[in-house]
Amino acid sequence: MDISNTLKNLSQNRLYWLSYIVLGLGLLAIALFYQYVLEELPCVVCIQVRLWFSLLILVALVGLILRKNTLLNLLAQSGLIVSAIGLVERSYLLLGTERGFIFADCGFNAGLPEWFAIEQWIPWLYQVETSCGYTPEILFGITMAEALMLLSVCLLIVSVTVIVVTLYGQFKNKF
């Protein structure tokens, strides 16, 4: 089987969508480990990253359920791309704040509308507890901001590649 067929059918594969769900849940679990075990409190940008990963998980759940419907599959893939773009942007802000090439106002307000008070509904996961400035080192001198930047760019590349190949496959089959 060639790579284009594998990629074309990837978005209809359960494992594709499950991998996003597992990755998102795993990263949220790691964030909670750092918060509650290592006592590295989350800043507003960290909480916003958690929100983007939560959206990614929800989109992947929808994609898993609706993966056989071509239009809804493409919509879910688009949702993954939007989530990945949001992650890239927030990760860049976090990295820039840590490295000092971005000076952002980083308070204790997540900036969410009143009707979406998720920090009050699920405070153990989404409550801002410190101001921005640094992220902890995770392995081999790599900080969490650096790892998030790399991971979010990789997620964006994978998501864009899969949707482009899927669209190409759909277009090719029509003609």
CA-wise closest residue to 87 among 55, 135, 59, 52: 52
Which helix (DSSP H) or strand (DSSP E) does residue 137 occupy?
strand 137-139
Query: Please, what is the average pLDDT of the chain?
Result: 86
Domains observed in the chain: 11-174 (1.20.1550.10)
Q: Which residues pair with 142 in a beta bridge?
A: 139
pLDDT tens-digit readout, 96-136: 888 777 666 666 666 777 888 888 898 888 888 777 777 88
pLDDT for 164: 87
Query: Taking the model in full, what pTM does it have?
Result: 0.85
Measured between alpha carbons, how far is 119 from 51 in angstroms, rounded to an integer? Answer: 10
Average pLDDT over residues 136-158: 91
